[in-house]
Structure 1
Amino acid sequence: MAFSELLDRGGSRGRFQVPQMVALVVPITWLAPQNVLENFSAAAPSHRCWVPLLDNSMAQASVPRALDPQALLAVSIPPGPSRGPHQCRRFRHPQWQLLDPNATATNWSEADTEPCVDSWVCDRSAFTSTIVTKWDLVCDAQALRPMAQSIYLAGNPVGAAVWSQVSDRFGRRRVLTWIHLRVAMAATAAAFTPTFSMYCLFRFLTAFTVVGTTLNTFILLVTLNSLGYTFGRVLLAAVAYGVLQQLAVSVPCFLCFVYSWWLAESARWLLIMGRLERGLRELQKVATISGKRAVGDALTIEVLCSAKQEELSVSQTPGSLVALLHTPGLGLWTCFALGFTFYGLILDLQALGSNIFLLQALIVVPDIPPKVGTLLLLGHLGRRPTQAVILVLAGLCILANVLVPHGDPRRAGARGVGVAFTCFAIYTAEVFPTGAVGVASPGALCQMATQAGAILGPLVRLLRIYGDSLPLLVCGVVPVRSGLAALLVLPETQNLPLPNTIQ
């Protein structure tokens, strides 16, 4: 008897699975904010150079007559490109002539200015503290912001390669438990780290462990994972607005660690590892809770031995990571395009408007109905056309933002890419062979391809020095190309049996 038949007879969809699935979705909801945390923890508030006349009380006392802060600002900071105070330069000496009502705004030369040599003064009305204000990641150091985001995302492919192997060796439940503890510890340490380099290290370790949760819940929660991430980003907007502390999204992971000891181990993994007695107990527990005690009592070690032999015959089918990578139609380019475009947009909320708390909600909340609708479209239109249409439409929305810079197309594009993630999560589970394990598993390969694109996503913003619209052009062309390629390369998997081999 095949293992899938054992699960169906014991209750594959019953009272046992519901609390298990809820217990697995809750950590995803709290871990999802880690992926976009830098929208808030690395937000760049308005800033200007530190100048004595404004920020040193003794220097202010030496001013011959009482002047309001606006007047002191005018003689200390030159105007910037947006006509407001320049964020990266200051006058070498106060330009008192600018207070003359007959003086013009250009009554000074570039030689009278210098870069900020002391420090910066930031507007703390929206954010009391970010890594930008803590380590002055502005002006010449502003490239370190997307660098920190890319370093975090670099932890995902490394974690995907490691945790896929560890889970196959030690079991899903045990690995999930320790992943929750490691995420909580690394995320908490990042909030207290004294240096930028240590912050990047702990953020890398956070991503390294966060991806382990996704991998270990990929097959069971293939449709709920995406919604869990969506609700998690909504939660981040509320927490960031109300608490303004990075610890607010890391401490709950300790609670997930505590209750994860209650989760059941994968019975399939127990069988393959030869732990038949524990596997029998797990299956009998499933049957009992699902109201099928008689089926559970009928299970024996001999029945499990038969199921084990059938599982091993499938898992030992010849195949390797190299063979998978050279197999056309597995959609790794689509994974790369999704990660590149999504994180290139979603980690740059400040470019979309001033109120990033509201923007976070506006991008994520309208994302929920399309994701649910996509699950219905997949059953009617098929996997390949749905995936292609969503990607092309998302890319066109992003490209439209070049022509409508103050409209909503970019937000619609980000939502479209998020919906494409939902579609491709189901597609991936159906196109990869079930016998692939470890690094060659569908979750691991797609995570590595997605995060390879995600690493480059934040860095595309550096192209703004060559043109404000260039990052949008790149982020728009990539999903359009991927969507068109999906029609030509990706196979249709609707109503087809899951493949057991690469062939």
Structure 2
Amino acid sequence: MAFQELLNQVGSLGRFQILQIVFLFLLNAIAMSHIAMENFTGAVPSHRCWVPILDNDTVSDNDSRILSQGDLLRISIPLDSNQRLDKCRRFVQPQWHLLQLNGTFSNVTEPDTEPCLDGWVYDRSNFLSTTVTKWGLVCGSQTLNSVSKFSLMIGIFIGGIVYGHLPDRWLSESARWLIMTNRPQKALKELRRVAQINGMDSGDSLTMEVVRTSMKKELEAAKTKSSPSDLFHTPILCKQIYLLSFVRLLALLSICGLAINLQHLSPNVILLQFLLGAVAIPVNVIGHFVLNHMGRKVGQQVILSFGGICILTTIFVPEEMQTVRISMVILGGAVSFLSNASNRLHENELLPTSLRSTALGIIGVISNTGLFMAPLIMMLVAYSASLPWIIYGSCSILSAFIVFLLPETKNQPLPESIHDIRNERKHTKQAKKEDLIIKVTRF
């Protein structure tokens, strides 16, 4: 707890920490807004084939002028399996005889149909223009809509790598990390700066001697310099990195799959997006208490499982039950966002300070595969409308099972170095051995 005593001297939660939180909040808000906007810029409005008899202003057929729009649609557009206007086909010739069949097709002959050779007519009551209406990304070209979302995720990934160093200009380096990398002078400078921003008078009393005395153990460990290769030469740490990577990969796949495809779950995307943002705030507050009460491991399992169950439940709720359907979507989305935060917390408490940034970078690169896969999985809707959502929900539940293989970190000291990780494993093995001896000698 030596470092905690130093933090208390410079202000553990003051103006400096609040400014960092606000700055990070703004950065995340900008990034998340681009993902959320995909539900609007890439929305797929209701559509049907363009037909000359109804949509060509120059047509002056006497029969078409005396018929209602419903009648014209009836003789121009076939019905799909749900007895709704087909979105991707039209009759080759107007089927005038259908006006006499009371809404049923003739059992004698099947009218010839064809694709929408002249384009589509879109319902513009909610969205005047989207990438879908502009480039005709429907029917045979609907997979290109997922490709456009894939391009967005590629941009986010590349942007994170190229511009990821920019926050270092405004965010102070961790004093704990500086000490663990054997740079106590710079750590002292950062601690004094934090004390000055927080208005703490104790900043002037911080000297190198105080830092060395308080962090004696950490400075001793820092003399053994760690290298990134140690991440893969330490079996227990290597295992944890792989497990954390797959947990975050599956969680991101589920989160992004839901976040960029809300339009497929409810026709009122604007209301759904607003409610999701409003509910996410109290859910994250509740999640804080869940993680502190249940622990990082069990708490994260509950959160990931519940989010996946909400997504799977949404699939089997009939579209007529919109209130239940929207409730499941909102809960699933809010809990999914919480799962990302709980995963990051668990990562930071498992990884040693001296190599934490490197390890998190490796985990980020591996797990960002989930960003790429999320929009591509939606292509499977061409085979089954439920299949993508089954995958999104199942991935969240599967990640909960993987968390079971990770150790608990609640009320445990943060590992400072590779040495601490090895000692922890040694103590764990010794404790298990002693427990086994007690059980054996009890009888």
- Is residue 497 from structure 1 mapped to residue 413 from structure 2 by the alignment? yes
Task: Tell me the residue number matched to 1:461.
Answer: 378
- Cα distance in 2 between the residues matched to 1:163 and 1:273: 27
By how many angstroms is 1:116 displaced? 0.9
> Which secondary structure does the structure 1 equivalent of 2:151 belong to?
helix
Q: What code does the residue aligned with 2:167 have? A: R
Q: What code does the residue aligned with 1:15 have? A: R
- Cα distance in 2 between the residues matched to 1:410 and 1:65: 45
Task: Tell me the residue number matched to 1:423.
Answer: 342
Q: Is the CA contact (8 Å cut-off) linking 1:394 and 1:416 kept in structure 2?
A: yes
> Which secondary structure does the structure 2 equivalent of 1:127 belong to?
coil
- Cα distance in 2 between the residues matched to 1:386 and 1:470: 28
Q: Is the CA contact (8 Å cut-off) linking 1:161 and 1:448 kept in structure 2?
A: no
By how many angstroms is 1:454 displaced? 2.9
> Which secondary structure does the structure 2 equivalent of 1:93 belong to?
coil
- Is residue 296 from structure 1 mapped to residue 203 from structure 2 by the alignment? yes
> Which secondary structure does the structure 2 equivalent of 1:474 belong to?
helix
Q: Is the CA contact (8 Å cut-off) linking 2:150 and 2:372 kept in structure 1?
A: yes
Flag the structure with larger Rg. Answer: 2
119 and 402 in structure 1: CA distance in 2 versus 1, 3 angstrom threshold: closer
Task: Tell me the residue number matched to 1:106.
Answer: 105
By how many angstroms is 1:281 displaced? 6.7
Using the size of structure 1 for normalisation, the TM-score is: 0.69
Deviations 1:390-413 (A, max 9, x none): 222333333344543444345433
Task: Tell me the residue number matched to 1:172.
Answer: 167
- Cα distance in 2 between the residues matched to 1:472 and 1:267: 40
By how many angstroms is 1:161 displaced? 4.8
Residue number among 194, 211, 227 corresponding to 1:286 in the alignment: 194
- Cα distance in 1 between the residues matched to 2:343 and 2:251: 9
- Cα distance in 2 between the residues matched to 1:355 and 1:159: 31
Q: What code does the residue aligned with 1:120 have? A: W
Task: Tell me the residue number matched to 2:359.
Answer: 441
- Cα distance in 1 between the residues matched to 2:240 and 2:205: 43
Residue number among 276, 283, 297 corresponding to 1:363 in the alignment: 276
Task: Tell me the residue number matched to 1:329.
Answer: 240
Task: Tell me the residue number matched to 1:354.
Answer: 267
> Which secondary structure does the structure 2 equivalent of 1:114 belong to?
strand
Gaps of at least 5 residues in structure 2 are: 423-443
Q: What code does the residue aligned with 2:394 have? A: V
> Which secondary structure does the structure 2 equivalent of 1:16 belong to?
helix
- Cα distance in 2 between the residues matched to 1:4 and 1:474: 43
Deviations 1:312-363 (A, max 9, x none): 9379314435458972234222111211222222322223221111222333
By how many angstroms is 1:41 displaced? 1.1
405 and 73 in structure 1: CA distance in 2 versus 1, 3 angstrom threshold: closer
300 and 160 in structure 1: CA distance in 2 versus 1, 3 angstrom threshold: same
By how many angstroms is 1:33 displaced? 1.6
Gaps of at least 5 residues in structure 1 are: 175-262
After TM superposition, list the pairs within 5 Å mapping 1:60-139 onto structure 2.
60=60, 65-99=65-99, 101-102=100-101, 105-107=104-106, 112-139=112-139
Using the size of structure 2 for normalisation, the TM-score is: 0.78
Q: What code does the residue aligned with 1:127 have? A: F
Deviations 1:169-228 (A, max 9, x none): xx6343xxxxxxxxxxxxxxxxxxxxxxxxxxxxxxxxxxxxxxxxxxxxxxxxxxxxxx
By how many angstroms is 1:435 displaced? 1.5
- Cα distance in 1 between the residues matched to 2:125 and 2:182: 56
By how many angstroms is 1:464 displaced? 3.3
By how many angstroms is 1:373 displaced? 1.5
46 and 421 in structure 1: CA distance in 2 versus 1, 3 angstrom threshold: same
471 and 121 in structure 1: CA distance in 2 versus 1, 3 angstrom threshold: same
Q: What code does the residue aligned with 1:432 have? A: L
Task: Tell me the residue number matched to 2:439.
Answer: none
Residue number among 392, 400, 404 corresponding to 1:475 in the alignment: 392
Q: What code does the residue aligned with 1:150 have? A: F
Deviations 1:7-33 (A, max 9, x none): 543224223332342233223223212
Percent sequence identity over matched residues?
35
Q: What code does the residue aligned with 2:409 have? A: T
Q: CA RMSD in A?
A: 3.6
Q: Is the CA contact (8 Å cut-off) linking 1:160 and 1:448 kept in structure 2?
A: no
Q: Is the CA contact (8 Å cut-off) linking 2:279 and 2:330 kept in structure 1?
A: no
By how many angstroms is 1:374 displaced? 1.7
- Cα distance in 2 between the residues matched to 1:80 and 1:315: 70
- Cα distance in 2 between the residues matched to 1:420 and 1:450: 14
After TM superposition, list the pairs within 5 Å mapping 1:95-244 onto structure 2.
95-99=95-99, 101-102=100-101, 105-107=104-106, 112-163=112-163, 167=165, 172-174=167-169
- Cα distance in 2 between the residues matched to 1:102 and 1:15: 75
Q: What code does the residue aligned with 1:490 have? A: L
Q: What code does the residue aligned with 2:135 have? A: W
Q: What code does the residue aligned with 2:379 have? A: L
450 and 324 in structure 1: CA distance in 2 versus 1, 3 angstrom threshold: farther
By how many angstroms is 1:48 displaced? 1.2
23 and 42 in structure 1: CA distance in 2 versus 1, 3 angstrom threshold: same
- Cα distance in 1 between the residues matched to 2:298 and 2:307: 14
Task: Tell me the residue number matched to 1:216.
Answer: none
- Aligned residue pairs: how many? 404
Q: What code does the residue aligned with 1:495 have? A: N
> Which secondary structure does the structure 2 equivalent of 1:379 belong to?
helix
323 and 160 in structure 1: CA distance in 2 versus 1, 3 angstrom threshold: farther
315 and 94 in structure 1: CA distance in 2 versus 1, 3 angstrom threshold: farther
Q: Is the CA contact (8 Å cut-off) linking 2:308 and 2:392 kept in structure 1?
A: yes
Task: Tell me the residue number matched to 2:257.
Answer: 344
Q: What code does the residue aligned with 1:362 have? A: L
